[in-house]
Amino acid sequence: MKRHPSLLLTLVAALGVMSGPALAQQQQRPQALGTFQDWTAATHMEGGRKVCYAFTRATKAEGAGSRQNVILTVTHRPQGRDQVALRAGYTYARNADVTVTVGGSELDFYTAQDNAFAREGGKAVAAFRNGSQAVAKGQGPQGRGTATDTFSLSGFSAAYEAISKECPAGRR
- Model pLDDT, residue 171: 54
Each residue's pLDDT tens digit, 61-95: 998 788 889 999 999 999 899 999 999 999 988 88
- The CA distance from 24 to 59, in Å, is 29
- Model pLDDT, residue 120: 97
Each residue's pLDDT tens digit, 144-169: 789 999 999 999 999 999 999 999 98
pLDDT at 56 over 80: yes
Any long-range contacts for 80-85 (C-beta under 8 Å, 24+ apart)? 80/121, 81/121, 81/169, 82/121, 82/122, 82/124, 82/125, 83/18, 83/117, 83/118, 83/121, 84/109, 84/117, 84/118, 84/121, 84/124, 84/125, 85/17, 85/18, 85/115, 85/116, 85/117, 85/118
Degrees, nearest 5: CA angle 57-63-65:
85
pLDDT at 14 over 60: no
Q: Helices marked H in the chain — which ranges? A: 8-18, 21-25, 121-130, 156-166
Q: Residues in the chain, how many?
A: 172
